[in-house]
A and B are shown apart, each in its own frame.
Chain A
Amino acid sequence: AQTVTQSQPEMSVQEAETVTLSCTYDTSESDYYLFWYKQPPSRQMILVIRQEAYKQQNATENRFSVNFQKAAKSFSLKISDSQLGDAAMYFCAHRQTDAGGTSYGKLTFGQGTILTVHP
């Protein structure tokens, strides 16, 4: 079964600085998708960035980028030039693509990391 682990329950960063959130995962699949979702106090789940496992190039979205290490099963999120609006809970998630198994299309989430941004 897939597992996703976020080892940092809480992180903090100064405004305009850079912070990296860690995520490791375990899967027997060779093809899969990885995601970072942001959950602000409004509790809405907002997609930050996604990575296809078959792509070697790391995904980037404006100030957000990932360091995807497939062999190490590591998927960290780097937030550059942090802003007050980045404060939220961040979830790393793995998406199952195997139609032959159970829970087809299931997202497996980590426990989340609370990010605080200090002005």
Chain B
Amino acid sequence: NAGVTQTPKFQVLKTGQSMTLQCAQDMNHEYMSWYRQDPGMGLRLIHYSVGAGITDQGEVPNGYNVSRSTTEDFPLRLLSAAPSQTSVYFCASSYSPSTDTQYFGPGTRLTVL
């Protein structure tokens, strides 16, 4: 049982490039989410999904796309990277969106030059 996995661990992009951050979980969790962590601001919700085929926006969704074709995977796409997207990105999952503890992946540190 690997829990929540994220790849890559580190990434450097140039402004305007696109990329996909991968997230997978093997716990059969229905709820998955993406957060970004910036200094002094805690973590903020980008997008979330309550099940395969269902996604919705969180607090800071601009510049990011998501899809959920399977229960296990929830990739986050940066369409055209900007320096403001330099951050640490966390994926999290749980059985239920309302009553269950969310478990976090190890994070991806992204730098946009």
Q: Which residues of A contact B (CB under 8 A)?
A: 4, 33, 35, 37, 42-45, 47, 50, 91, 93, 95-99, 102-107, 109-112
Contacts and interface: CB of A to CB of B under 8 A. Distances in A.
Interface residues on B, range: 20 to 34
Given A43-B88, A50-B101, A106 B42 contact: no
Contacts, number: 73
B103 A47 contact: yes
B74 interface: no
B64 to A, nearest CB: 14
B99 A43 contact: no
A105 B57 CA distance: 12
B43 A91 contact: yes
Interface string B1-45: 000000000000000000000000000000101010000111111
A interface: dominant SS:
loop
Contacts of A96: 98
B interface: dominant SS:
strand
A107 B43 contact: yes
B106 A44 contact: yes
A45 B37 CA distance: 11
A43 B107 contact: yes
Given A44-B106, A45-B90, A106 B58 contact: yes
